[in-house]
């Protein structure tokens, strides 16, 4: 069976060889670019009907279908990644995490934002001082319960 890492490596090769963008691939699959990219990088899985489309678009071998449908192991090898972009996201949470927690608790009460019932969008906003990255995280609020 193909591993998630072997699948990711193959997907990246095929994406480059076919000259496709993540938006192209996601459009063909019928899901958001964020979710499809995450699945292609091994952090999510696709349901069979979407896996079939991905395999066809990227001209992947049949064994790739099982790998893209397999439940992922969502782990990180480092406490804080050293890739500058990913590191900056950790920095944002490090600096603003306690503020976000306070504001969420004040607005919603004691609980968490779901990362399961969740969407993530990445957009570009034109700005004369330099284009802006707009990251929108949208997660269902899950209150803690007393028992």
Position 8 in a domain: yes
pLDDT at 145: 86
Could you tell me if 90 and 58 lie in one domain? no
Residue 134's nearest CA partner among 117, 146, 121 is 121
Could you tell me if 61 and 88 lie in one domain? no
Could you tell me if 122 and 96 lie in one domain? yes
Position 74 in a domain: no
| Confidence band, pLDDT 50/70/90 cuts, at residue 146 | confident
As a whole number, mean pLDDT of residues 61-86 equals: 89
88 is catalytic: yes
102 is catalytic: no
**Catalytically annotated residue among 13, 59, 91, 102:** 91
Domain range spanning residue 109? 84-143
**Catalytically annotated residue among 13, 59, 102, 114:** 114
pLDDT at 77: 75
Position 122 in a domain: yes
pLDDT at 98: 84
Residue 25's nearest CA partner among 33, 34, 17 is 33
Position 25 in a domain: yes
Tell me how many domains the chain contains.
2
pLDDT at 74: 81
Could you tell me if 96 and 65 lie in one domain? no
Query: What's this model's pTM, rounded to 2 decimal places?
Result: 0.83
**Catalytically annotated residue among 13, 21, 63, 88:** 88
Q: What is the DSSP string of the chain?
A: ---HHHHHHHHHHHHHHHT--HHHHHHHHTS-HHHHHHHHTTSS---HHHHHHHHHHTT--THHHHHHHSPP----SSSS--SHHHHHHHHHHHHHHHHHHHHHHHHH-SEEEEEEEEEEEEEEE--TTS-EEEEEEEEEEEE----
Report pLDDT digits (tens) over 112-134: 999 999 999 999 999 999 999 99
Report pLDDT digits (tens) over 77-91: 778 888 999 999 999
Could you tell me if 133 and 100 lie in one domain? yes
Could you tell me if 92 and 61 lie in one domain? no
As a whole number, mean pLDDT of residues 94-107 equals: 91
């Amino acid at each position: 069976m193909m591993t998630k890492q072997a699948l990711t490596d193959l997907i990246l090769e095929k994406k480059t060889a076919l000259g496709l963008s993540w938006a192209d691939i996601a459009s063909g699959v019928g899901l958001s670019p964020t979710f499809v990219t995450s699945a292609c990088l091994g952090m999510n899985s696709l349901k069979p009907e979407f896996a079939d489309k991905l395999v066809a678009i990227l001209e992947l071998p049949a064994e790739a279908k099982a790998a893209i449908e397999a439940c992922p192991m969502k782990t990180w090898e480092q406490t804080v990644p050293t890739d500058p972009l990913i590191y900056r996201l950790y920095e944002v949470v490090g600096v603003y995490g306690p503020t976000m927690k306070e504001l969420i608790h004040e607005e919603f009460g004691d609980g968490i934002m779901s990362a399961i019932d969740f969407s993530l969008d990445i957009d570009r906003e034109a700005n004369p001082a330099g284009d802006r990255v707009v990251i929108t995280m949208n997660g269902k609020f899950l209150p803690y319960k007393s028992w």
